[in-house]
């Protein structure tokens, strides 16, 4: 499952390179959903389903506990201002919600190009007991999205995190 796929570039490329795995792509932003549906058609992908909705509601209403093999969260909105930190999706409630839906041994992969958010993520994961893991090298399988490209152009270092559900 990918949460907040944006325009779906990474989703489509990952699904194309791994046709035997089913991908569930969740996004609240309608134009992004349209864009991914177009890519699915162009690339004739048979292994992607999209859901228009908030990840929390999707978890609550549509996903069984211990049912997912992995979750991708690529470049979540960084909400850089202190008064907006409460909007950051990576928090204790979200970590617990993802943990509940993952099978034991399943992964939670997060990437961010906002260094203060990387520090925030590392800190949030020290407070929980569902996962082991931490920062890792950029994996080859994660495509460079337009969003990441912009970050790199602005010389924002990208941090990848990989956590494993106990
Ligand atoms: C900064 S963009 C990154 C998009 C994409 N992952 C990429 O790397 O280009 C963050 C995306 O997360 C989506 N988003 C934020 N909160 C969400 C939620 N609760 N459920 C689903 N999508 C969400 C936003 O609509 C936005 O498209």
State the pLDDT at residue 91. Answer: 98
Question: What residues are annotated to the active site?
Answer: 77
Kindly list the domain boundaries of the chain, sorted by start residue.
Answer: 2-165
Task: Answer whether 89 contacts ligand 1 (Cβ < 6 A).
Answer: yes
Categorize the per-residue pLDDT at 82 as very low, low, confident or very high, splitting at 50, 70 and 90.
Answer: very high
User: Mutate which of 1, 2, 6 to test ligand 1's pocket (most atoms within 8 Å of Cβ)?
Assistant: 6
The reported pLDDT for the residue numbered 144 is: 81
Among protein residues, the one whose CA lies closest to atom 1 of ligand 1 = 77
User: Counting atoms of ligand 1 from 1, which one is nearest the CA of 58?
Assistant: 20
Percent of the chain whose predicted confidence (pLDDT) is above 90: 90
What's the whole-model pTM score?
Answer: 0.96
| Band of residue 153 on the pLDDT scale cut at 50, 70, 90 | low
Instruction: Select from 56, 55, 48 the least CA-distant residue to 11.
Output: 48
CATH class in words for 2-165: alpha beta
Concatenated DSSP letters of 8-34:
-HHHHHHHHH-TTS-EEEEES-HHHHH
6 C-alpha vs ligand 1 centroid, how far in Å? Answer: 5
Residues 83-96 pLDDT 10s = 999 999 999 999 99
């Amino acid at each position: 499952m990918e949460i907040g796929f944006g325009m779906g570039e990474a989703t489509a490329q990952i699904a194309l390179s791994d046709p035997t795995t089913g991908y569930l792509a969740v996004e609240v932003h309608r134009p992004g959903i349209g864009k991914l549906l177009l890519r699915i058609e162009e690339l004739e992908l048979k292994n992607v389903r999209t859901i228009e909705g908030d990840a929390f509601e999707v978890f609550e209403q549509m996903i069984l506990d211990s049912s997912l093999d992995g979750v991708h969260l690529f470049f979540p909105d960084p909400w850089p201002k202190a008064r907006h930190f409460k909007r950051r999706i990576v928090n204790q409630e979200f970590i617990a919600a993802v943990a509940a839906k993952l099978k034991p041994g399943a992964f939670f992969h997060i990437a961010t190009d906002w260094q203060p958010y990387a520090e925030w993520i590392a800190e949030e994961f020290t407070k929980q007991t569902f996962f082991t893991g931490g920062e890792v090298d950029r994996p080859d399988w994660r495509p460079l999205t337009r969003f990441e490209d912009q970050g790199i152009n602005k010389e924002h270092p990208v941090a990848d995190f990989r956590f494993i559900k106990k």
